[in-house]
Amino acid sequence: MKRFENKIVIITGVNDVSREISSTFAAEGCKVVITGNEKDLEKIADEAIDKFNQIDILPNGHEAVRKEGENNNSSVQNVDYIFNTNLRSIITGAIDATDGAYNVRDSAKKVFLASRRSIVNSVLQVSKRFSFGRRINKSNDPSKLPKLDEFDTDKIRNFSVIAHVDHGKSTLTDRILQEANVIDKNEKIAQVLDKLLIEQQRGITVKAQTCSIIYKDHLINLIDSPGHVDFSFEVARSLAACDGVILLIAANSGCQAQTISNFWLAFERDMTIIPVLNKVDLKTARVDDSLKELETLFCIEKNEVLCISAKSGMGVPEVLDAVIDRIPSPKADRNLPFQAIIFDSWYEHFRGAIVLILVKNGSITKGQHIASFNNKKTYEVVEVGVNHPDQIPCEKLYAGQIGYLICNMKTVKEAAVGETLYEPSAIDSIKDIEIFNPAKPTIYSAIFPVESSYYEDVKQAIERLCLNDPSITISPTSSPSLGLGWSCGFLGILHMEIFSSRLDQEYDVDVILTAPSIEYRARIVDNDTIRKKRYNGESEISIVNAASFPEIMDVEQFMESYINLTILVPSEYMGVVNAMCSGARGKRGDLTCIDDKRMILNWHMPLAEVVTGFFEKLKQLTSGYASFSYEFDGYEPSDLTKLSIHINNRLIEEFSQVVPVSMAHERAKTIVNRLKTEIPRQQYEVNIKCTLGDSSKMVCGSTIKCWKKDFSGLLKGNFGGGGMERLNKKLSHQAKGKSKLKMLGQIQIPKEAFINVLKN
């Protein structure tokens, strides 16, 4: 007997995902009901009947589907599973589903179809493995939410959770949502606000997410932020919409580098900080030491700190009470004309650009006209709502509240983060414009489509993803071997890897991502002719790849990026860490003892030494106990050179790199050895060499031997009677032919070789 035989499944929406779900459950013997608009249903009517006779189709209006704005309190009895694949319809608590209702998110549809995993096996373990859907709690019913106009400004709290990576931010937000009855307390759901597939796979938060909850007659807007240093821009952006923060510290590891960085980020904005010590129930918890660290580093008294266990839920109600009692209400006025700031945005198919806003003043409702401060365009509002945690439309958003807005923005550039929206008739009343300082990229990498025919698809995907991640900078570039592409700036190696993974998972595009490089500077000699003719009159130019490396004779001084590095390390590892930093051309700064076991080391060193491999080496030397953060500290003079890679005396610009002179030999050897491994053997020798700049001075080189043909076999071993002379004649002709082939032919480097060498 089939496991799901005679179960009743209702599916909303007509699309590839609903077809996949319906086919899977019908094959298991379920009674399947598909609902949607009548036009779409007509298209699949014959298909459903021919395929499985237990699939029924029903038009919208059936009590299993509740559309926006409808008050339908009826329920469908004896329904086992409900799947919502249509984002325009909302499944609510009015549905009586024995085993639960699930939203299938847009960003996960591709994964759903690509993996073809057994849905019926996954659905029983939804909290762990059903990554493309999420259980909807019956308390998360928009019809039960109070009207937002009931919450005056003094009843609103906007806050964010900030912490070092792996200190329990996402777990705490899960417990907060359970305490506020947004998700069922009996459901063991992990990382509800980690909606991206890459977040679920890696177990880290890379994107700040919001959720509006009702707790003790207060409207609380929670923002869960990332903890990794590569996503510090997400944290800074989230704080622009908050009036206070929860500073979360894990008791088993104490204050870490990003804890310090995030504290000062909130402190400089004059925000209320609630210190919370998490994981106090662990056997390895160092509660007293952690409290002393907070007092030493931040002058936080012990009686200000809340001790909790986010995993068990201990102390979470006290955290919510502290949010209400300590964090001030937003400074906003409902009586003023509408004004809001965009602090996040993303793109969804069929809905376009969606922006997340903090309403500074006034209110916003569907049908209202608004204007953008920078591009001066006017839009009509199509929909407003809140995240609870999924999007729930509402009639109006009021001053001090956080919600989403859709207004038919035609291009992704119009939904820029930091943009101010306002009422067109009240432009003179606009004040307190929030300014987002643009993120400063630390590494650069070029992105190329695997096939040139995919250029437009990749371009569209990059533009839409950059809307969701404005910390990335992009500019067009080209390559003789790889074609047209984009030069992209990232905040770190992890940031670059996440961006590439999201392109694949969310937009189904395959790209070539080149090896990371950093930005160098060159001060051009004081010669107007040289500056105007070669460098557009600039006295200082930026170098982000080997192609932009200037002539040595034109340069007065090269400069490279330097950073201030902060490392938290146990005292016993201080010696090896200092030796590593000294070997990385670093200059030692201040040393601060947190206690007798841990200390803070400050180093001033080149960024080039940190972006690749530094973190892994630091963790290895300190058995995983060290952490670090850094901030950009300008440019300083340096000796730079260009490593030029030649294959059979032809310059291959894609493999060339700009490096400090001290790193030139090691880097050249690495590139040459990789190329020797990746380039296949030819009918002639392939010579690989690396030179400094445009000179002929070789740093290192290697040769790939050619294929050989043994002519002695054709002579049948008869070397007497002129046989040896015939052999030498054959070998001579072969050598001449290969020499001619080498001069006339072009070495064919497969695209896989480019990918493997550039990625490594």
Q: Give the chain's largest Cα–Cα span.
A: 112
pLDDT at 352: 77
172 & 299 share domain: yes
Q: How does DSSP assign 209-231, residue by residue? A: EEEEEEETTEEEEEEE---SGGG
Q: What's residue 227's pLDDT?
A: 65
Closest CA to 629 of 649, 603, 606, 666: 603
Alpha-carbon distance of 39 to 43, in angstroms, equals 7
Bridge partners, residue 359, by sequence: 340
CA distances in angstroms from 557 to 224, 562, 563, 634, 643, listed in the order given: 45, 16, 19, 15, 18
The Cα–Cα gap between 209 and 177 comes to 13
Structure confidence at residue 135 (pLDDT):
38
| Count of structural domains, the chain | 6
- Shared domain check, 744 and 677: yes
Of the three residues 292, 326, 360, the one that is the final residue of a domain is 326
Distance CA 292, CA 592 (A): 14
Nearest Cα neighbor of 442 from 563, 528, 530 is: 563
Please tell me the predicted confidence (pLDDT) of residue 738. 58
Q: What is the pLDDT of residue 202?
A: 63
Q: What span, in angstroms and rounded, lies between the C-alpha atoms of 146 and 155?
A: 13
Q: Measure the CA–CA gap between 348 and 342, rounded to whole angstroms.
A: 17
Structure-token pair, residue 729: 């004649």
Residue count of the chain, please give it: 760
Q: Are strands 698-704 and 420-422 parallel, antiparallel or unpaired?
A: unpaired
Q: Say what the pLDDT of residue 52 is.
A: 43
Residues 583 and 633 in one domain: yes
User: How many other β-carbons are positioned within 10 Å of the β-carbon of residue 49?
Assistant: 12
Task: State the residue range of the domain holding 264.
Answer: 147-326
| CATH number reported for the structural domain that contains residue 49 in this entry | 3.50.50
In a domain, 433, yes or no: no
Q: Which residue has the tokens 């580098």?
A: 257
State the pLDDT at residue 315.
93
**Domain for residue 424, yes or no?**
no
In contact, 221 and 398? CB cutoff 8 Å: no
Cα distances from 97 to residues 8, 25, 75, 186, 300, in angstroms, run 9, 16, 9, 16, 49
Residue 587 covered by a domain: yes
Of 233, 295, 162, the C-alpha closest to 631 is 233
Choose among 249, 272, 271, 244: nearest CA to 260.
Answer: 249
Q: Identify the pLDDT of residue 127.
A: 28
Which pLDDT score, from 0 to 100, does residue 147 have?
74
Q: Minimal CA–CA distance to 158: which of 333, 376, 324, 340?
A: 324
Indicate the residue type of 310. Answer: A
Residue 389's pLDDT is 78
Q: Do 36 and 105 lie in a common domain?
A: yes
End-to-end CA distance of the chain: 52
Q: What is the pLDDT at residue 268?
A: 85
Q: What is the CATH number of the domain that holds 450?
A: 3.30.70.870
Count of beta carbons in the 10 Å neighbourhood of residue 92: 21
- Asked if 226 and 105 sit in the same domain, the reply is no
For residues 570 and 645, membership in a common domain is answered with: no
* Residue 282, in any domain of the structure: yes
What residues pair up with 692 in beta bridges, in sequence order? 643
Residue after which a domain boundary falls, among 112, 135, 158: 135
Determine phi and psi for 723, rounding to 5 degrees.
Answer: -65, -40
Distance CA 8, CA 77 (A): 10
Residue among 404, 276, 281, 387 at smallest CA distance from 352: 404
Question: DSSP characters for 156-189?
Answer: EEEEEEEESTTSSHHHHHHHHHHHTTSS-TTS--
State the SS3 of 260-318: HHHHHHHHHCCCEEEEEEECCCCCCCCHHHHHHHHHHHHCCCHHHCEECECCCCECHHH
Give the end of a domain, one of 610, 638, 666: 638
Tell whether 169 and 248 lie within a shared domain. Answer: yes
Task: State which amino acid sits at residue 581.
Answer: C
Asked if 41 and 15 touch (Cβ cutoff 8 Å), the reply is no
Helical residues (DSSP H) of 52-156, grouped into ranges: 109-115, 119-122, 126-129
Sequence-ordered list of residues with C-beta below 8 angstroms from that of 385, at least 6 positions apart, any chain: 391, 392, 393, 394, 403, 404
332 part of a folded domain: no
Identify the CATH number of the domain in which residue 296 sits: 3.40.50.300
Q: Which of 289, 266, 174, 259 is nearest to 222 (CA)?
A: 174
State the Cα–Cα distance between residues 349 and 339, nearest whole angstrom.
Answer: 27
The predicted structure's pLDDT at residue 595: 79
Residue 186 phi/psi, 5° resolution? -85, -10
Instruction: Tell me, yes or no, whether 723 and 675 share the same domain.
Output: yes
User: What is the distance between the alpha carbons of residues 558 and 564, in angstroms, rounded to a whole number?
Assistant: 20
Inside any domain, residue 527: yes
Clarify whether residues 184 and 297 are in a common domain.
Answer: yes
In a domain, 428, yes or no: no
DSSP 548: G
Cα–Cα distance for residue pair 454/513, rounded to 1 Å: 15
CATH code of the domain in which 657 resides: 3.30.70.2570
CA angle 708, 709, 713 (to 5 degrees): 145
What is the reported pLDDT for 577?
92
How far are the Cα atoms of 229, 402, 492, 680 from residue 472, in angstroms, in the given order?
15, 25, 11, 36
Using DSSP, state whether 17 is helix, strand or coil.
helix
Q: Where are the alpha helices (DSSP H) in 608-722?
A: 614-621, 664-678
State pTM to two decimals: 0.69
Alpha-carbon distances, residue 109 vs 84, 104, 114, 180, 320 (angstroms):
12, 7, 9, 29, 35
- Does one domain contain both 390 and 456? no
Is 667:660 a contact under the CB 8 Å cutoff?
no
Could you tell me if 404 and 385 are in contact, meaning their C-beta atoms sit under 8 angstroms apart?
A: yes
The one-letter code for the residue type at 301 is E
Which amino acid makes up residue 424? P
**Do 202 and 284 sit in the same domain of this protein?**
yes
What CA dihedral angle connects 687, 693, 697 and 699, to 10 degrees?
-70
- Same domain for 634 and 646: no
Cα 192 to the center of its chain, rounded Å: 17
* CB contact set of 40 (below 8 Å; sequence gap of 6+): 14
The CATH number of the domain where 605 resides is what? Answer: 3.30.70.240
DSSP helix/strand/coil, 435: coil
Q: Which residues of 380-403 are buried (b: 16+ CB within 10 A; e: fewer)?
A: ebebbbbbbbbbbbbebbbbbbbb
66-67 and 89-90 as β-strands: parallel, antiparallel, unpaired?
antiparallel
How far apart, in whole angstroms, are the C-alpha atoms of residue 314 and residue 377? 50
Divide the 760 residues of the chain into consecutive groups of 10 and give the mean pLDDT of each group.
Answer: 65 71 74 67 51 44 38 46 56 41 45 36 34 38 65 91 85 86 67 61 68 89 77 79 92 88 87 94 91 90 93 92 94 90 78 86 92 86 86 88 86 76 82 67 85 87 82 84 85 83 81 83 90 88 86 90 90 91 90 85 90 81 84 89 85 82 86 83 80 80 76 56 69 66 53 62
Asked whether residue 183 is assigned to any structural domain, the reply reads yes
